[in-house]
Structure 1
Amino acid sequence: MHQEITELLPSLRRFAYSLTGSMPDADDLLQNTVERLLVRSRPDDVDLTKWAFRVCRNVWIDECRARKVRRVAADKPELSEGQVVDGEHHTTQQIEWNRVDAAMAELPQEQRQIISLVAIQGLPYKVVAEILEVPRGTVMSRLARARVALRDALAPANMRTES
């Protein structure tokens, strides 16, 4: 199981980042998740990937409840720390990443989770529904609302649709 968890770490880290909006908080969440995965025994007949994502989500919910504060991350470290790249392309790309990060941060947590699991992690709707313990139709409707919200947030000001 240790090897399987090790293989899941990059995906879990991205998911943790999508929940927290901050790399330091994501790393803390990942550490707490892995600790819980190693301490508790996996339920019988449960896929490790689904269980790990569910544990990560539940750890985040527990932390939010304990803090009673919703974090909106305005300052986010670059995802590519340590890499030195110059040029207009990098600057433009960074501006776009910041816009997407800001738009994601504005989504309700339920929609942000769905976008992360479906669009970023590439998980099927059925698996996402099992991880979040919601009906598949709920996954689809939240995803649709999240996509519209992101489209509207990222559209140029003169092309935004009025809702």
Structure 2
Amino acid sequence: MTAAELSALLPSLLPRLWAFALRISGDQHDAEDLVQRSCVRALERAHQLEPGTAPLSWMFSIVQSTWLNELRARNVRNRAGMEWDDGFLETVPDPAARTPEEQVMNGQIIRAVQQLPEAQRIVMLLVAVEGLSYSEAAEVLDVPIGTIMSRLSRARQAIGALFNDQKKEKRAKNAEHSKEMGA
């Protein structure tokens, strides 16, 4: 693919690239810079986009590697404690969230995904949010498909465990409240 062909295609990819960059960086300004640097890198390397490779998958790969390079440059070792910006919900609307309960649940899911280790979080975003197949995600991250399946399984288990713990805490509080009311 030529740089001219890619530059004609990039505008249609920008919304998904920006949403992905926002999810992995957790910051609007970082996401904007990340997309810009990734687009420049892609245009410089357009000739490396092999026939048969989906341009969106290729761009996700560039965004991911650019972000990793940025993290290394910042000497960031562990992002798990970083706060998630819930404000992104206003910029990336979810048309399926129609009730306040659904909005609360979506916020809880976002926070749970944000707590995942980086490798699991990226796989979860690529497969569950961006809709990439396992093989496409493996190609984006340059890992075997079994690694994608393993990371996704562990991510789902971690999120499930988090929600199970929350249910148990809620039941315990309700039982305690009922006991206090009955006494």
Q: Same fold (TM over 0.5)?
A: yes
TM-score range, shorter chain: 0.7 to 0.9
CA contact (8 A) 1:103 1:153 kept: yes
CA contact (8 A) 1:23 1:77 kept: no
Q: How does 1:39-118 map to 2 (within 5 A)?
A: 39-46=44-51, 47=53, 48-69=55-76, 70-71=78-79, 72-81=82-91, 89-90=99-100, 92-118=101-127
Change (3 A) 1:151 1:22: farther
Q: Given residue 11 of structure 2, which amino acid in structure 1 is its aligned partner?
A: T
Distance 2:161 2:38 in 1: 33
Distance 2:68 2:121 in 1: 14
CA contact (8 A) 2:126 2:132 kept: yes
* TM superposition shift of 1:64: 0.2
Which consecutive segments of 4 or more residues in structure 1 shift more than 3 A?
Answer: none
Change (3 A) 1:55 1:42: farther
How many matched pairs? 155
Q: Which residue number corresponds to residue 174 of structure 2? A: none
Higher Cα Rg, which structure:
2
Higher relative contact order (CA closer than 8 Å, sequence separation 6+): 1
Name structure 1 gaps, 5 residues minimum.
none
* Pairwise CA RMSD: 2.5
1:98-139, CA deviations, whole angstroms, 9 ceiling, x for partnerless residues? 322221121111101110111001111111111100001110
Distance 1:11 1:147 in 2: 23
Change (3 A) 1:16 1:151: same
Q: Which residue number corresponds to residue 36 of structure 2? A: 31
TM-score, length basis structure 2? 0.74
Q: Given residue 63 of structure 1, which amino acid in structure 2 is its aligned partner?
A: E
Distance 1:8 1:108 in 2: 27
Q: Given residue 89 of structure 1, which amino acid in structure 2 is its aligned partner?
A: T
Name structure 2 gaps, 5 residues minimum.
1-5, 171-183
Distance 2:126 2:102 in 1: 23
SS in 2 for 1:79: helix
Distance 1:93 1:23 in 2: 24
